[in-house]
A = this chain, B = another copy of it.
Amino acid sequence: MMELENLVERFGASARASLAVTHEGTGYFAVTPKAPYDGELSTAEQARQLFEKADARLKEIGSGRDRMVFAAILLRDIGDVASFNAEWDTWMKDVAPPARACFEAKLASPAMKVELIVICAVPDKRAG
C-alpha cells in the first residue's frame, strides 16, 4: 500500500480551507471573484475576475482550463445565466470543456454573485 498522506497535496492552505487540493491525479477547488467582493460589479464582470483566478489556480496545481473534468457553477441569480454563459464561452474558446452543472444559490457573501467548483486532471504522482 502506498503512503496515503504522500498522495494528498494542499495549495494555499489556511486554518479554514485550502485553495486547492490534489490527490492521485485529480485536483479539487472552489474559486470566487476577486476579494474583497464588489457587489456593484455585474455577474459577467465577477465571472471574468473568477476565470482569471481559476486560470492561475489551475496552473499552480499543474492543470489547465483544458483539463477540467467537471465544473459546478453557482449563481446568486440564475437570471444571469445567459450573461455568465457568454463569459464562460469566451473562457472555453479553443479548449474542450468539462461536464458542468449550473444552479442558483446564495453564496457566503451577499456581494458574491458567482462561485465555481472545479474538478480537474493533474499530474499523477503515482505514475512512474
Interface residues of A, Cβ cutoff 8 Å to B:
1-2, 4-5, 7-8, 10, 13-26, 28-30, 67, 69-70, 72, 74, 78, 81, 85, 88-89, 92-93, 96-108, 115, 117, 119, 121-124, 126-128
Complex partner residue of A127 from B1, B8, B22, B78, CB under 8 angstroms: B1
Inter-chain contact B101/A104, CB cutoff 8 Å: no
Would you give the shortest CB distance from A95 to chain B, in whole angstroms?
A: 10
A13/B96 in contact, CB under 8 A: yes
- CB pair B105 A103 closer than 8 Å: yes
A78 touches B108 (CB 8 A): yes
| Interchain CB contact (< 8 A) of A124 among B24, B26, B104 | B24
